[in-house]
Structure 1
Amino acid sequence: MPLRAESGFPELIRPMLASPGQLPPGSGWAFEFKWDGVRTVTYARGGRVRAMTRNDLEVSATYPEVRALSALLGDHEAVLDGEIVALGARKQPDFGRLQSRMHVARPGDDLLARVPVVYYVFDLLHLDGRSLLGASYAERRQELAALGLGGQAEVRVPPSFSEVHGEDVLAVAEDYGLEGVVAKRVTSRYEPGRRSAAWVKVPLVRTQEVLIGGWRPGDGRRAGTIGSLLLGVRCDDGVHYVGKVGTGFTHSALLDLQQRLRPLERAESPFVDAVPADHARRAHWVRPELVGEVEYRAWTTDRRLRHSSWRGLRPDKDPDDVRMPAP
């Protein structure tokens, strides 16, 4: 349930989450492109805009671009759901570029100019004293469109396709190098904080959130820094080992990881299952509190990530939410 202030304006509405799956058959679905960014619910009221991530972290100062909502909304009070995205040279979402903004509490003018972000608003949860959580997806999108949130580069309302085949939308996403699509049942209400079957995410790029449980020192050019990270995901009985990742790092990312992992060191492995001896050799174990994200080719039969590559830390994600996907 959303938390409310005495005035009735919501203090906190946790975002509704999509379940992974295949494109749903039949009618009654709308399709949106899947954006590769930071999921953010924004609260606009009285000229102030507050932005909150999935794990209740306020990032209003990290992404001051969201303040553009104040001018666009005028006298309206609203709670909006969307994704903060950094665009690359081809105007496509670039998660690597976004990484340079995610860990900066108050970016300076130079960083803001070099790596601008865009807030893609795809849902409306509260408007002028009215909760829209019980309204259908189609009704919420209609009211969102009526707000006319356009005219400024920092805020965009991405399209929703309700009378097309999902395969066609997925094909367009692939042509443009997007992450995938999200199918949303047009009659569905908004379910705060819940991973619902009424929203289905169909990725083209396979990614997995992971917990860092250890690291191995590097050799050669990486001597003195991290060679690979030892990764896990949470199951009912604890954190299970799912493999290591040693590619996809920049030098600055490795130095940052070393600083963040140093205070988390522990004497023994945090994984409830055995780590292969060749992976555990020379390992430095840490408390599994840092969330990262990897891109991968497939899961092996023994539930290990195959051909994984590091994408970056995810401070916007809660470690308790990093779970093993369904087989």
Structure 2
Amino acid sequence: MLATAGIVPRDDTAWNFEVKFDGIRAIGYITDELRILSRNDKNITAAWPELAALAPADPPFVVDGEIVALTADGRSSFEALQPRMHQRNPATIRALAAAIPATYLIFDLLHIGDRSLIELPYLQRRELLEQLDLRGPRWQVPPRLSGPGAAVVDQSRRLGLEGILCKRLDSPYLPGRRSPHWLKVKNIRDQEIVIVGWKPGAGRRAGHIGSLLMAVYTDAGELTCIGNVGTGFTQSALDDLAARLEPLQRKTPTTDADVPDVRWVEPRLVGEVSFSEWTGDGRLRHPSWRGLRLDKEPRQVKRELIRHARSGTP
């Protein structure tokens, strides 16, 4: 189930609030052993060995949560998680797990034993999850926060957090659907993007990537250009992007954008940027690179619109 970008609901009594963490969404299947699937249904279990001790479980259960790298003050750091997202070499994974340990923040219970829970209201699922008492060295259930919602989001801003999630107490779990019954209220504006090309750099970046050409899919299924991003990169990120984009090169434009000196690529890679605002012509103002999102499929990437809460039951 996916959240919709929105504002804090007016009716605080119908909602619970949670901290929005900045990591990798993951479904955990806890049976005789642990199996973890990313949002695009890829098995990523091997990348997170420090979570293996969640299993075995009797009865088995299925949970939803976020894999994060937590800083000393308890905030999640997507940048710290980046070196771990792309690794599949067992020795490298073990070394990174020791240096940058991940934590699985579990916020929903979807199945237990032979019973599916997705039709139950959020509050009941959450209470059942809390009864499991999932507290371990690298996993935990983050707390539910009571309203008023405006005070919760203000406090999250003062603490430097990404934002909060607002979840209707009576909402069922809707697999694969983006619903206004889960709202994400962000302190930092970000947007998933599809990389459709790159422009060569100058100066210190001469001969290398200077900026990436960004696009999103429209509701009609067409790619539309939303500008370039040329800041926020580390040298290792640029080297990794160059290696990944090299086999994706193509001679014809990926979109109908009239941009000179672009090296066009197949729209296979998804990234994430922060930005200040959308311009009137549909471009991102002051975008800054945050990292690749290998857990996302390109055709899922659309412009995020701010929506208001929907009243009434789902």
TM-score (norm: length of structure 1): 0.90
Mapped partners of 2:132, 2:72: distance in 1: 30
Shift of 1:274: 2.6
Alignment match, 2:310: none
Instruction: Give the aligned partner of residue 292 of structure 2.
Output: 313
Give the equivalent residue in structure 2 for 1:234. 217
Q: 1:138 aligns with which of 115, 119, 123?
A: 123
Q: Is the 8 A contact 1:68 1:155 kept in 2?
A: no
Residue equivalent to 1:255: 239
Does the CA contact (< 8 Å) of 1:229 and 1:245 recur in 2? yes
Helix, strand or coil at the partner of 1:108: helix
Q: Deviations over 1:245-277 (max 9, x none)?
A: 000001011011011001111112111x333xx
1:178 correspondence with 2:161: yes
Contact 1:32 1:160 in 2 (8 A): yes
Q: Which residue of the partner structure matches residue 156 of structure 1?
A: 140
Separation (CA, whole Å) in 2 of partners of 1:187 and 1:237: 33
User: How far apart, in 2, do the equivalents of 1:80 and 1:184 lie?
Assistant: 16
Percent identity for Structure 1 against Structure 2: 46
2:4 maps to a residue whose letter is S
1:141 partner SS? helix
Quote the RMSD (CA, aligned, Å): 1.3
2:184 aligns with 201
- Answering whether residue 8 of structure 2 is matched by residue 23 of structure 1, we say yes
CA shift for structure 1 position 325:
2.6
Where relative contact order (Cα < 8 A, 6+ residues apart) is larger, the structure is: 2
Which residue, out of 63, 70, 87, partners 2:55? Answer: 70
Distance (whole Å) between structure 2 residues aligned to residue 252 and residue 124 of structure 1 = 37
For residues 61 and 221 of structure 1, the distance between their equivalents in structure 2, rounded to whole angstroms, comes to: 37
Residue 237 to residue 92, structure 1, CA distance change in 2 (3 Å): closer
Q: For structure 2, list consecutive stretches of 5 or more residues without a partner in the other structure.
A: 307-314
Map Cα deviations across residues 56-84 of structure 1 (whole Å, 9 max, x no partner).
1111001122213116xx42300000000
Shift of 1:308: 0.3
Say which of 32, 43, 68 aligns to 2:18.
32
TM-score (norm 2): 0.93
Give the Cα–Cα distance (whole angstroms) in 2 for the partners of residues 218 and 50 of structure 1: 42
Checking the alignment, whether the CA contact within 8 Å between 2:84 and 2:93 is kept in structure 1 is no
Measured in 2, the distance between the counterparts of 1:225 and 1:90 equals 36
Counterpart residue number, 2:198: 215
| Rounded Cα–Cα distance in structure 1 between residues aligned with 2:17 and 2:120 | 18
Give, in whole Å, the separation in 1 of the partners of 2:29 and 2:221. 37
Q: Which runs of 5+ in 1 are unaligned?
A: 1-15
